[in-house]
Amino acid sequence: MPKVLIVTGAGRGIGAAVARLAAADGYAVCVNYLSNRAAAANVVAAAAASGATAVAFRADVSHEEEVMRLFEHVDSTLGRVTALVNNAGILEKQCRVEDMDSARIQRVLSTNVLGAFICSREAVRRMSTRHGGRGGAIVNISSRAAQLGSPGEYVDYAASKAALETLTVGLAREVAAEGIRVNSVSPGHIYTDIHARGGEPGRVDRLKDSIPMKRGGTAEEVAGAVLWLLSEQASYTTGATIDVSGGR
């Protein structure tokens, strides 16, 4: 069966690492991005260099109609999706809950939670044996913030990631008999540019001594866990969350 993967938010960071590793593993890959076309094109070029078929497609996953266009584009260019990685996620500047306005909270939840729900819905409609599909796998990119809460920094982001882990468990049980596995990966402090968006580019280095392994992680280390969960090696694993956090 051809392996067709959509990775949301795949222009940079963990999403880009997943797309590159998946391409090397024989997936046809759709690199979804929001605004940085050049970065997405670089990921597509890297995938093509490994011999894979890859396309980039701009879609804001917080908008249902754009998600639907994303999946329709993959249907027509790569074929029926067999794997989805819900990686697109945002955070805002570090602050306390008492200083958050509703617009900020809505932005975070719309991308991080609503986007994952709608993408998962479209994937299930194509993968499920109830709908004539041949099964597949979904991996949600959570965060250790879901358990740690990110007090004083990103409690809204942490809450959104906790919602993803609940989605993982509920959806996994809902579609387990329909050939679909749903799991999540929970990264800890990883060197990506998301920390700059929160106002502290050096956040990982500030916190690395609190990690048992005494270092931050890489996007490639997270991608390795994602690819295992997508693979047949994880054929009896669903509803699980793997921590990639250096022990913290």
User: pLDDT class for 200, splitting at 50, 70, 90?
Assistant: confident
Using a cut of 0.85, tell me whether the model's pTM lies above it: yes
For the stretch 135-157, pLDDT in tens is 999 999 999 999 999 999 999 99
Q: Residue 89: is its pLDDT beyond 90? A: yes
Catalytic residue among 27, 33, 154, 157: 157
Domain total of the chain: 1
The range of the structural domain enclosing residue 239 comes to 4-244
CATH number, residue 127:
3.40.50.720
Q: Are 206 and 200 in contact (CB under 8 A)?
A: yes
Counting beta carbons within 10 angstroms of the beta carbon of residue 147, is it exposed (0 to 12), middle (13 to 18) or buried (19 or more)? middle
| Residue 195 pLDDT | 67
Non-local CB neighbours of 239 within 8 Å, separated by 6+ positions: 168, 169, 172, 173, 176, 182, 183
Q: Say whether 33 is catalytic.
A: no
For the stretch 2-37, pLDDT in tens is 899 999 999 999 999 999 999 999 999 999 999 999
